[in-house]
Structure 1
Amino acid sequence: MSDADQTAKTGRFDIEAIVATLPETAATLLVDTYLIDREAASARVFRVYRPTPPLYHATCDEYLYVVAGRGTFWMDDAATEAEFGPGELLFFERGTVHALPQILGEPLVFLSIDTPRREPTDIVFVNPEDGSPATFMARNAGS
C-alpha cells in the first residue's frame, strides 16, 4: 500500500533523493511516492507530466508545496488561473475543483499533504471523459 514504513512514529525524508527516483516520462498524468500514509493524513512527493484537467477530491483537504518546476493553477474558477513556482504553497478544501492547465518548467514536483488521508483513487474529474483514477496516477493504472 505505502512506499514508506508506516509503523514508524517519526521520519526524515530526503526530498531531493526521492525526486531523483521519479521517472522522466509516464503514461499517466503523475507518478507519486508516499512518505506518510496514515488515517489522519498522508504525505506524498509527486511529479506531474502533463496538464491536469479540472478535478476534485471528495474526502480530504490538500496542501501542495511546489518543490520544483513552474506552471499555472486555478481553484474554484478558471478565471483565477495564475502562475506558481518553487517555494509556493497551494491549499484547497475537499470538493474544490482545481486544475493545472500549463506546465511552464520541468520537472514539476510537489510535496502533497492530504488531511485526512486520501485514498489514491479519490480523483473525480469534472468531465469524466478527461480521465479516471487509472489514467491520473501510475499507482492506480493496474486498478
Structure 2
Amino acid sequence: MSDNVFDVLAAMANLPGTADTMLVDEYFVDKPTASARIFRIYRDLPLHFHRECDEHLYVLSGRGTFHLDGEEFEARPGLLLHFEKTKVHGFPHISEHPLVVLSVDVPRRRPDDVVFVDPSQGDAAAFMARNAPENQA
C-alpha cells in the first residue's frame, strides 16, 4: 500500500495478544501536526490526561466503560469519542477483549505525554509500547 493508505484491520490483527504495558500501539501517521494510530488496551486503564493534544478515539472491537471528565459511557464498536487536551479520561473497566481503538491525536501525542490522576497507578513507561516484532506474542 502507499504511504497514505492503511489497512486498519490488518494492523489490528498484528497487535500482540499480551503485553507488559497497559497498551500497545502502532502508528500509521506520526507527524508534528497530527498522529493516527491503532492501539489495544490490555487491562483497565486508570484515569489520566494529556497536556499537548486533543484525541479522537474510534472503538473497533471490545467493550468496557469509558470515563470522560466525570461521566461514564459504554465503550463499544462504532463509538467515536472526542475530547480536548487536559480532559481526564480512561477505561476503568474492560468487559470484552480485545479492546482495540483507532486514535487520531491533534497535534501529535508524544509517547511520554500521559499524566495519571493517581501517579501510583502508572507512568509513561508502563502506559504504552509501540508494536514491534519483539513485542509480539
Counterpart residue number, 2:114: 123
* Partner Cα distance (1:47, 1:57) in 2: 18
Deviation, 1:99, is 1.6
* Partner Cα distance (1:39, 1:85) in 2: 30
SS of 2:125 mapped into structure 1? helix
* Partner Cα distance (1:37, 1:27) in 2: 23
CA offsets, 1:37-64, max 9 Å, x none?
Answer: 1111000000000001110000000000
Cα RMSD of the aligned pairs, angstroms, is 1.1
SS of 2:98 mapped into structure 1? strand
* Partner Cα distance (1:14, 1:99) in 2: 26
Deviation, 1:106, is 1.1
CA offsets, 1:55-93, max 9 Å, x none?
Answer: 00000000000111111111111xx21212101101110
SS of 1:138 mapped into structure 2? strand
After superposing on structure 2, the runs of 4+ consecutive aligned residues of structure 1 that deviate more than 6 Å are none
Give the alignment's TM-score, normalised by structure 2: 0.91
Gaps in structure 2 of 5+ consecutive residues: 131-137
* Partner Cα distance (1:84, 1:76) in 2: 15
Counterpart residue number, 2:35: 42
Q: Please show how residues 71-82 of structure 1 align to structure 2 within 5 Å.
A: 71-77=64-70, 80-82=71-73
SS of 2:24 mapped into structure 1? strand
- Identical-pair percentage: 53
**Code of the aligned partner of 2:73:** A
**Code of the aligned partner of 2:21:** T
Deviation, 1:124, is 0.5
* Partner Cα distance (1:34, 1:67) in 2: 16
Is 2:37 aligned against 1:51?
no
Q: Please show how residues 1-143 of structure 1 align to structure 2 within 5 Å.
A: 8=3, 11-77=4-70, 80-139=71-130
Aligned residues: 129
* Partner Cα distance (1:32, 1:84) in 2: 18
Higher strand share: 2
- Per chain length, whose mean CA-contact separation is higher, i.e. which structure has more relative contact order (CA < 8 Å, sep 6+)? 2
